[in-house]
Structure 1
Amino acid sequence: MESVTFKNKTLDVAADLHLPPGFDSARTYPAIVSAHPIGSCKEQTSGNVYGARLAEEGYVVLAFDATHQGASTGEPRWIEDPGLRVEDFRCAVDHLVTLDYVDEDRIGVLGICGGGGYAVSAAMTDRRFKAVGTVTAVNFGRMMREGDLSPDAAINTLDAVAKQRTAEARGAEPRVDVALPDSPEKADELGITALDVIEATKYYRTPRGQQPHGANKSLFSRMGPAIGWDAFHLAEQLLTQPLQIVVGGVPGEFGAYRDGFELFYRARSGQKDILVVPGQSHYDMYWKPEATEQALGALIPFYDKNL
């Protein structure tokens, strides 16, 4: 593995380049851009699980940290802006096509959780992606709009964002939201019962998946663009690449199960498939071998066929 950086306008995007065994720079290889979940980082599931395994199968895999997050630059920190996130993907391809050992006609993309929604959106507007894979993909805009499930959830959140942004423009301290409790024990103490929140806490707040940059933070005043965004917008028209969707068979509150089926039915792709991994939840798909091996069992032959 090599640590690299590439540019998104003036920002430095930090990435890990996972290389195949016996890598030879005189050869050419297919490549995959691998994108992390919301609040995650390249050292977690997108890199150390899916990226590392796909590299073992002969792919050059570029796992990157979103700008304004992780080891990438960008101030203020913890911005979750879909426009910025999707541009990171385009810039990742810009970097790959400068590498002599990457075949520019054999580049795919993989996104996990929110990274899956961004991967879909990026592929619709960057035809250099020849195959699209998602694991427990979430349409982050949809999730943000639902909020507390009331009819006015999105409007109420946007009103609060507006007030906070005005306050910060006038010198107030930024509001940085932390999505998860500090520990599983704290989640129990708070009486949290939502499956996805409990399992996210067990992943991000324990040695199971904990990494310094996997902070699950967001700058509240910059959440407006996400609330007005739809990862699957124009999928019926623009998403034509081969598509492999993987979801866990145990639905959770974040909605990846239903998002997976919505994407499957909406995508224009002539070749598309959805794998439901029985008995596995959203966060099982990040790390649990019984889950990730089934996901990779679909993804590897999918990329082999289409790249």
Structure 2
Amino acid sequence: MDLQSVRFPNRTWDVAAHLRLPDGFDPSKKYPAIICAHPISSCKEQTAGSIYAERLTEQGYVTLAFDASHQGESGGEPRYLEDPATRVEDFRCAVDYLMTLDYVDEDRVGVLGVCGGGGYAANATMTDHRIKALGTVVAANYGRIMRESGALPTLEALGRQRTAEARGAEALLTTYIPDSPEEREQAGVTDVDIVNAVEYYRTPRAQSPNSPNKLRFSGLEAALGFDAFHLAEVLLTQPLQVVVGDVPGAFGSYRDGWELFNRARSEKKDILVVQGASHYDLYDQPKYVDQALEKLTAFFGENL
């Protein structure tokens, strides 16, 4: 397997990505390609790239795992911005990039998104029909999560912060999750998703300098008005494979996965419920990841 660091443009900046080429790669041939999108707060070096893209490349696919704009090694100012419209545009730009590679079959491009990346992947697939197949793993609708966290008080606080920044105040950087297991314990947080998120992102299990747990607070207004699955019943027609775990947690990916499955217009669609798996088990735990990848490999094999 050959891993290359590449960049492709989005508006006025470049998006950083890892392009993986399968063993025995022959540039004179045509290959199916899969874009792999990381969770919110994550980066290309974590689950989407190091687990799912790696394994799919072993199955013979060209894969492209990228850092979201404004995050990781990608460009875009301001930093640490989680902007849904820009994250959806990242996918379109990723497809643009694949279309410039002579060895990529333009009619065999798929997308795989994990967690919030799955929600964004679904949204992008609705309006970019160069994407021929969509797979999601514990897909989460970021807008729904934000709205359920107290939308109206948050909007008031966002307005005050934006006004302060317009008048010269420093940007407020907050965190997605507690910054350490000790901080989480002190806060008394016991929900399975939060516990596992801290273990995944803030310990040697998967900690990365490109995933620093920083979020620009004043940029959250757009997320509160975003619905990743809006118009899925009208525009999402491509084959769809949804993977969820049956252990529910605060992030709600189990119900989001079912909502996406039920709303999608796709004539060919399937949902796999991995028994005993929580949200983060499907990031990197072999017992559960293997089940997801077995299903996804068959799905992409049939549809790309």
Q: Please list, as runs of the form range in 1=range in 2, the aligned pairs for 1:18-167 lying within 5 A after superposition.
A: 18-147=20-149, 153-167=150-164
The residue matched to 2:210 in structure 1 has which SS?
coil
The residue matched to 1:203 in structure 2 has which SS?
helix
Residue by residue over 1:5-31, the C-alpha shift from the partner in whole angstroms, topping out at 9 and shown as x without a partner, is 000011110000011111111111000
2:256 pairs with one of 236, 240, 259: 259
> What is the distance in 2 between the residues matched to 1:82 and 1:96?
22
1:171 pairs with one of 145, 168, 176: 168
Alignment-mate amino acid for residue 154 of structure 1? A
Residue 188 of structure 1 and its aligned partner are, at CA, apart by 1.6
User: Structure 1 residues 157-166 or 40-49, which shifts more?
Assistant: 157-166
The aligned length equals 302
Residue 84 of structure 1 and its aligned partner are, at CA, apart by 0.3
> What is the distance in 2 between the residues matched to 1:255 and 1:190?
21
Alignment-mate amino acid for residue 300 of structure 2? Y
Q: Which runs of 5+ in 2 are unaligned?
A: none
Residue 181 of structure 1 and its aligned partner are, at CA, apart by 2.1
Residue by residue over 1:216-273, the C-alpha shift from the partner in whole angstroms, topping out at 9 and shown as x without a partner, is 3211101101100100000000000000000011011100000001111110000000
Residue 154 of structure 1 and its aligned partner are, at CA, apart by 1.2
Q: Which runs of 5+ in 1 are unaligned?
A: 148-152
> What is the distance in 2 between the residues matched to 1:177 and 1:26?
48
Residue 189 of structure 1 and its aligned partner are, at CA, apart by 2.4
Return the TM-score normalized by structure 1: 0.97
> What is the distance in 2 between the residues matched to 1:216 and 1:87?
22
Aligned to 1:303: 300
The residue matched to 2:140 in structure 1 has which SS?
coil
The residue matched to 1:66 in structure 2 has which SS?
coil
Runs of 4+ in 1 over 3 A off after TM superposition: none
Aligned to 1:194: 191
Q: Is the 8 A contact 1:13 1:73 kept in 2?
A: yes
Aligned to 1:150: none
1:10 pairs with one of 3, 9, 12: 12
Residue 278 of structure 1 and its aligned partner are, at CA, apart by 0.5
Query: How much identity, in percent, do the aligned residues show?
Result: 63
Residue by residue over 1:277-296, the C-alpha shift from the partner in whole angstroms, topping out at 9 and shown as x without a partner, is 00010011101001110100
Q: RMSD across aligned C-alpha pairs, in angstroms?
A: 0.8
